[in-house]
Amino acid sequence: MAKTLFDKIWEKHIVKEIEGGPSVLYIDTHFIHEVTSPQAFKGLEKRGLPLFRPKQIVATADHNVPTLHQELPIKEELSRIQVQTLKDNCEKFGVELYGLGHPYQGIVHVIGPELGVTQPGSTYVCGDSHTSTHGAFGSIAFGIGTSEVEMVMATQCLLQSHPKLMRISVDGELHKGVTSKDIVLYVIAQISASGATGYAVEFAGSAIRSLSMEARMTICNMSIEMGARCGMIAPDEITFDYIKGREFAPKGEEWEKKLAFWKTLYSDDEATFDKEYHFKAEDIEPMITYGTNPGMGIGVSGQVPEFSTIDERDKPSFEKSIHYMGLHAGEKIKGHKVDYVFIGSCTNSRIEDLRQVAAFVKGKKKSDDVTVWIVPGSKQVEAQAKEEGIDKIFEEAGFQLRQPGCSACLGMNEDKIPAGKYCISTSNRNFEGRQGPNARTMLASPLTAAAAAITGVISDVRELF
Amino acid sequence: MGIIVNLEEDKKKAGAAKFQSERKIIQSAAVPIELENIDTDQIIPARFLKATTREGFGKNLFRDWRYENDDETKPVKDFALNNKIYSGKILVAGKNFGCGSSREHAAWAIKDYGFDAVVSSFFADIFKNNALNNFLLPVQVSEDFLQKLFDAIHKDTNAAIEINLEEQYIKIVATGDQESFDINQYKKTCLLNGFDDIDYLLNMREEIEAFEKNKV
């Protein structure tokens, strides 16, 4: 019988099906960080339980860490305690921690793939909704709450209902200056921030296939922003080439065995989905969000929707949203002032993102009125950027290259955008207050963010090459 | 208003460091937040996620909608949680409630504040699971019924809403308007009996070990 990519992996991980209920799903690897794990460890302690499979846990500190002077003790007391608690728990329970100071430290969804931990055909969870990132390798990967973190710690399993299945195909060739971030912002704008809720989404089509692994990760990363349980892309030669030789990638005979299995991971021709969408790559222009959910995106040449085009029921939310953003219905977005540019987060902080930005800004200077923060996704990305001289390019442009962490994506550390200020951000969420109380976030690709850094206003990067 | 019928707290479950409530029927007035896409960053902003315990999040529920400039002496008067005409154990909100971050702190905050159920026309997946794992009942209704609920609350801010988990319906007591809601039968059993998933999974460890041995 024809099967989807999702079902091929799902079926291999079902320990047991409960009649009329969810299935017991086996989790291959569990990523943990300092924010959503302490209560779970505490829960285990209260129950007097050890970790069931400590070797299948990968731990790092990312959400709370400062991005300057990581060699010094963390100033903010609660952050320091939380990061220390993770360290203590990892020691006590026997988990390998890539904490501050470790050459592998970084954003959990950046380090998993770069270490070769993330592989096709496996299941991954983390107490973080952007776990969907790992689906770019053709795996099932999704975010969970802390109670579920505790369940996986105790049993390496979760109770999960089979989601509905959706396929989103993007075919054709992207215009110059249009990136995978624009693809995903476009798709979310088309189907809405809840358009894929209840579904596992497979991204397919020639435009997706032609993307690098890092670009694919950006798309799967933001599948949660359309509500999806997870996002995934069938693995291919691009995937295998990316994994080969990485620290925890299979080696020798094991590699051949795994590769043979990975090559079976695609949706069969006759496989059916509960819902399908088709988009054309040619229709996509550089995107930017104007509102307070990731579905409120438009092309940079576009305008904030007119009030009359908004559905009656949606009007109060729309009005609140553009009021928060200090924008007007019908206003053109291009040329709007920008105060901060943040290039980072699990969506866009990988070496390719930094390379792309560096290639664009080389020889240019940032606008005097804009503060630019570049926060690499990991110590390895940071080291690579320095090796390639990218740090020098940023320095000359007036961009500040900081140290790895989640940073201004959610402003849990000191990296907050001041109230009322506009930030073009390569992160994933433009929610009210996400980057700091009353901060105004506009989501865009690294290229569009870099263009704004240079001009000081929202710009069409295609006019600046 | 705010009466919970049939509430039995089971504090005796051996080994479980929690106490669970058996809730068959919740009858209460409701607090309306007539907005869509309420994300978990609004429910509990990230700066409050630095705690290492599960307790005490209620005081920061909807923090940035509740207070001007983060100042507790300046409550935003129009916001439903600050408006004394609203009370009760049921939160009613627009579609796509709980979208965004997976932070279970959102469910903890709502529960800790004193709500036992959230009613919306659509819930984000992770939030729904987190709510169920904390014995906070997510009740998904049609857009039309949601509108009826808002209308009923506007007409009478004390309007009693009845949620019957056993029979799976939600009713506006004054008008008798009611709608049935879906819930996974396994989760329903858990809620009615105060079981949680971890108890179930812990009993399966032998099967899990056997599965691991056969796994390719």
Q: What DSSP string describes A443-463? A: E--HHHHHHHHHHSB---GGG
- Partner residue facing A81 (CB), from B52, B207, B216: B52
The rounded distance, in Å, linking the Cα atoms of A464 and A361 is: 10
The rounded distance, in Å, linking the Cα atoms of A366 and A360 is: 12
> A193 to chain B: which residues are within 8 Å by CB?
37, 96, 99
pLDDT tens for chain A, residues 1 to 465: 999 999 999 999 999 998 778 999 999 999 999 999 999 999 999 999 999 999 999 999 999 999 999 999 999 999 999 999 999 999 999 999 999 999 999 999 999 999 999 999 999 999 999 999 999 999 999 999 999 999 999 999 999 999 999 999 999 999 999 999 999 999 999 999 999 999 999 999 999 999 999 999 999 999 999 999 999 999 999 999 999 999 999 999 999 999 999 999 999 999 999 999 999 999 999 999 999 999 999 999 999 999 999 999 899 999 999 999 999 999 999 999 999 999 999 999 999 999 999 999 999 999 999 999 999 999 999 999 999 999 999 999 999 999 999 999 999 999 999 999 999 999 999 999 999 999 999 999 999 999 999 999 999 999 999
Please identify among residues 343-362 of chain A the ones whose CB lies closer than 8 Å to any CB of chain B.
none
The rounded distance, in Å, linking the Cα atoms of A399 and A402 is: 9
Contact check, Cβ <8 Å, B129/A148 = yes
pLDDT at B216: 66
> B99 to chain A: which residues are within 8 Å by CB?
193-194, 197, 227, 293
Question: What counts of helices (H) and strands (E) characterise chain A?
Answer: 15, 19
Contact check, Cβ <8 Å, B102/A314 = no
Please identify among residues 150-179 of chain A the ones whose CB lies closer than 8 Å to any CB of chain B.
150-151, 154-159, 161, 163
Q: Select from B19, B50, B68 the residue whose CB has the most chain A CBs within 10 Å, as the one to mutate to test that interface.
A: B50
The rounded distance, in Å, linking the Cα atoms of A145 and B197 is: 13
User: CB of A46 within 8 Å of any CB in chain B?
Assistant: yes
User: CB of A252 within 8 Å of any CB in chain B?
Assistant: no
- Partner residue facing B17 (CB), from A47, A156, A320: A47
The rounded distance, in Å, linking the Cα atoms of A353 and A375 is: 11
CA distances from A15 to A52, A160, A404, B94 (A): 16, 11, 37, 37
> B187 to chain A: which residues are within 8 Å by CB?
21
> A46 to chain B: which residues are within 8 Å by CB?
17
User: CB of A47 within 8 Å of any CB in chain B?
Assistant: yes
Please identify among residues 92-111 of chain B the ones whose CB lies closer than 8 Å to any CB of chain A.
94-96, 99-105, 107
The rounded distance, in Å, linking the Cα atoms of A428 and A345 is: 8
Residues 6+ apart with CB under 8 A from B211: A15, A26
How far is C-alpha A441 from the chain's CA centre? Answer: 16
User: CB of B85 within 8 Å of any CB in chain A?
Assistant: no
Residues in chain B: 216
What's the gap in Å between the CA of A411 and the closest CA on chain B?
Answer: 7
Q: What's the rounded mean pLDDT across residues B25-34?
A: 97
Q: Select from B19, B34, B37, B103 the residue whose CB has the most chain A CBs within 10 Å, as the one to mutate to test that interface.
A: B37
Helix ranges, A94-202 (H): 108-114, 146-155, 180-191
> B37 to chain A: which residues are within 8 Å by CB?
193-194, 293, 295, 317
CA distances from A306 to A298, A327, B116, B127 (A): 13, 12, 39, 32
| B153 pLDDT more than 90 | yes
What's the gap in Å between the CA of A173 and the closest CA on chain B?
Answer: 30
Contact check, Cβ <8 Å, A159/B186 = yes
Q: For B160-205, how does the pLDDT look when each residue is reduced to its tens digit (9 = 90+)?
A: 999 999 999 999 999 999 999 999 999 999 999 888 899 999 999 9
| pTM listed for this prediction | 0.95
CA distances from A161 to A10, A202, A276, B117, B183 (A): 11, 17, 21, 22, 12
| B4 pLDDT more than 70 | no
In chain B, which residue's Cα lies nearest the Cα of A12? B215
Sheet holding A371-374, edge to edge: A400-401, A371-374, A340-343, A422-425, A440-443
Residues 6+ apart with CB under 8 A from A386: none
The rounded distance, in Å, linking the Cα atoms of A404 and A413 is: 12
Query: Terminus-to-terminus CA distance in chain B, angstroms?
Result: 57
A–B: how many Cβ contacts below 8 A?
194
Compute how many other C-beta atoms are within 10 angstroms of the C-beta atom of residue A217.
Answer: 33
